[in-house]
């Protein structure tokens, strides 16, 4: 390993070059997410919207929800946008609409939030976990192809962290096997693939309005998108107990309706989404520059941008080599820098799925990512000084006494990918991300 601790030390002292903050300029804290900054700008509009709904006395579904659905459909350029109570319910409803049930298998990544898999098991079907591409952390299409069986009923790629899964590879696999694709778009609103929005590429898209998402409500919420009229009709029925007309039940559905207050708040936020997304892209590009200047390439692998579509950076995930991830996180926490681990235990290793029989080693890239990745602050209002502080604190950690920071060569050698191997020759710093700016209002965007 040729990158030394002193390389990082040199970089910390030259913030003028666009590198990390020098010791004297480090800020006392940087939050992982600061929703209060967004709220400060929108407070008056949000409060007025909530008051209007309270005055209307219409709290569930209703005109606010219908208007929001129409706006979302227009923005994502998809014929149907159907709201529901959460992203978890969106996944459940999508699989219900595709008649997934006992005896069926659904292929999905293990490296995702729990809801992707629990939607499958709640219907009595079996999740079949596929490994990820170690560069993108997204489902590996080759592993998906290997795992298709006679029982496979659907594929669920997750556009994790805001980056689109490799749909060039997944679509032909699904088509030749005659399988529908349910896109887990919970983290990827406004992300694209060759100009099409995620959620409008496969058969159904499942979005979340959870507050930490790029378009977050003030509580739970979600929506589905589809280009298929048959699925749209089923979804509208399934979210209201299969009821049509009132008190006549055509199928057994669930209660998964969006509140009018959420819809009103989301309508205030929607016109800002494109600008917030661009701010996330700018922040990602800036991290690329600061990390490159910091000379941390031997310790920290920064995420790459996606040339085939718009990466919307719901999370900025770095990989920490040498088994230092947890110690680095503890150091950052002590310095007031917020971070998170998405996700520390892959789904195939979760206690609740023990009965499925998966073992450690079954999905090596997934397991390694769970041990090595760390999410850094990336929210739109994050300042350059805060980003320099984040990288400055990371550099500070790697400048620590060698005894406290064991050599990166201790990383388990199971990875086969040369560019990510810590015993491979030092890689040049990754070039800064290309920021594709989407100019105009959110509703102008053909995404
Ligand atoms: C990838 C993924 N899928 C599904 C969900 C579920 O969404 P919700 O929290 O709105 O139920 C989330 C939300 O955290 C998610 O990140």
- Domain layout of the chain by residue ranges: 5-37+272-438, 42-271
CATH number listed for the domain at residues 5-37+272-438: 3.90.1150.10
Q: Which residues line ligand 1 (CB under 6 A)?
A: 86-88, 112-113, 115-116, 158, 184, 186-187, 208, 210, 220, 222
Judged on CB neighbours under 10 Å (0-12, 13-18, 19+), 269 is: buried
Which residue from 84, 108, 109, 113 has its CB within 8 A of the most atoms of ligand 1, so it is best to mutate? Answer: 113
* Maximum CA extent, the chain: 72
Measured by CA distance, the residue closest to atom 12 of ligand 1 is 186
Q: Which residues are bridge partners to 60 per DSSP?
A: 259
| pLDDT confidence of residue 357 | 98
pLDDT tens track for 176-225: 999 999 999 999 999 999 999 999 999 999 999 999 999 999 999 999 99
pLDDT of 239 strictly over 90: yes
What pLDDT shows up at residue 404? Answer: 52
Ligand 1 pocket test, pick from 33, 88, 259, 314 with the greatest ligand atom count within 8 Å of Cβ, gives: 88
Torsion of CA 213, 326, 128, 306, to 10 degrees: 50
**For ligand 1, what atom is nearest to the CA of residue 210?**
10
pLDDT digits (tens, 9 = 90+) for 407-438: 554 343 333 333 323 333 333 333 333 333 33
Buried b (16+ CB within 10 A) or exposed e, 58-92: eeebbebbeebbebbbebbbbebbbbbbbbbbbbb
Query: What residues contact 334, with CB distance under 8 A and at least 6 apart?
Result: none
For residue 220, give the ligand 1 atom closest to its CA.
Answer: 10
Residue-level pLDDT at 433: 34
Average pLDDT score over the chain: 88
What distance in angstroms lies between residue 10's CA and the mean position of ligand 1's atoms?
A: 41
Other beta carbons less than 10 A from residue 143's beta carbon: 19
Instruction: Give residue 207 CA to ligand 1 midpoint distance, Å.
Output: 8
Does 445 have pLDDT greater than 90?
no
Distance CA 201, CA 329 (A): 37
Gap between the Cα atoms of 222 and 81, Å rounded = 10
**Atom number of ligand 1 nearest to Cα 91:** 4
pLDDT at site 406 = 55
- The per-residue pLDDT for 420 is 29
Q: Report the top-level CATH class of 42-271.
A: alpha beta
Atom of ligand 1 nearest to the CA of 112: 1
Q: What is the mean pLDDT of residues 22-41?
A: 95
- Mean pLDDT on 95-118: 98
Tokens of 363: 């999905």
| Distance, CA of 145 to CA of 168 (rounded, Å) | 13
The Cβ-side half-sphere exposure at 109, using a 13 Å CA radius, reads 32
């Amino acid at each position: 390993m040729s990158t030394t601790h002193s390389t990082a030390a040199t970089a910390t002292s030259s913030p003028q070059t666009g590198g990390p903050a020098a010791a004297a300029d480090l800020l006392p804290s940087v939050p992982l997410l600061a929703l209060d900054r967004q709220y400060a700008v929108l407070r008056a509009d949000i409060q007025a919207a909530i008051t209007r709904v309270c005055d209307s006395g219409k709290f569930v579904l209703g005109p606010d929800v219908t208007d929001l659905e129409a706006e979302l459909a227009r923005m994502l350029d998809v014929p149907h946008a159907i709201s529901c109570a959460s992203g978890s319910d969106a996944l459940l409803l999508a699989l219900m609409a595709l008649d997934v049930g006992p005896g069926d298998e659904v292929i999905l990544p293990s490296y995702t939030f729990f809801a992707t898999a629990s939607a499958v098991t709640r219907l009595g079907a079996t999740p079949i976990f596929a490994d990820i591409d170690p560069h993108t952390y997204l489902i590996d299409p080759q592993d998906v192809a290997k795992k298709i069986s006679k029982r496979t009923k659907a594929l669920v790629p997750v556009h994790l962290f805001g980056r689109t899964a490799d749909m060039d590879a997944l679509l032909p696999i699904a088509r030749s096997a005659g399988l529908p694709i349910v896109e887990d778009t919970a983290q990827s609103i406004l992300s694209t693939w060759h100009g099409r929005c995620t959620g409008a590429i496969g058969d159904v898209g499942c979005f979340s309005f959870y507050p930490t998402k790029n378009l977050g409500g003030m509580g739970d919420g979600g929506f589905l998108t589809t280009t298929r009229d048959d699925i749209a009709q089923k979804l509208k029925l399934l979210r209201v107990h299969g009821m049509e007309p009132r008190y006549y039940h055509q199928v057994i559905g669930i209660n998964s309706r969006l509140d009018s207050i959420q819809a009103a708040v989301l309508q205030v936020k929607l016109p800002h989404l494109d600008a917030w997304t661009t701010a996330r892209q700018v922040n990602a590009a800036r991290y690329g520059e600061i990390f490159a200047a910091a000379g941390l390439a031997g310790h920290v692998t920064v995420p790459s941008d996606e040339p085939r579509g718009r990466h919307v950076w719901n999370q900025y995930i770095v990989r920490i080599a040498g088994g230092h991830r947890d110690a680095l996180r503890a150091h950052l926490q002590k310095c007031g820098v917020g971070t998170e681990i998405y996700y520390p235990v892959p789904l195939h290793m979760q206690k609740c799925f023990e009965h499925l029989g998966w073992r450690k080693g079954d999905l090596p890239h997934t397991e390694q990512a769970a041990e090595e990745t760390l999410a850094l602050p990336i929210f739109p209002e994050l300042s350059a000084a805060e980003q320099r502080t984040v990288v400055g604190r990371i550099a500070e950690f790697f400048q620590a006494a060698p005894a406290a920071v064991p050599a990166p060569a201790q990383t388990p050698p199971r990875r086969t990918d040369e560019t990510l191997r810590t015993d491979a020759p030092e890689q040049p710093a990754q070039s800064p991300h290309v920021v594709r700016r989407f100019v105009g209002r959110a509703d102008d965007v053909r995404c």
